[in-house]
Amino acid sequence: MSGPVAFFTGLFTAAMVPGGVPRPLLVAFATSAATTSLLVVVYVLAWQRETRSEPLDN
């Protein structure tokens, strides 16, 4: 398991335990994860749009 995946898995597992993770920390990580996901989607859509507009050389 990669480092970030293990980290977030541990974080959300600890969040299931009452008092496991302070709520502000959990909110900060959830916001960070959502922002990262949104940026990845925007990047992929821009990349697809760029590659679709290029003519294919046969």
pLDDT tier at 51, thresholds 50, 70, 90 = confident
Single-letter residue type at 19? G
Name the most confidently modeled range: 21-25, 27-31, 46-50: 46-50
pLDDT at 1 over 70: no
- Percent of the chain beyond pLDDT 90? 10
Q: Which long-range contacts (CB under 8 A, 24 or more apart) does 22-31 make?
A: none
- Percent of the chain beyond pLDDT 70? 83
Among 39, 25, 34, 38, smallest CA distance to 11 is for: 25
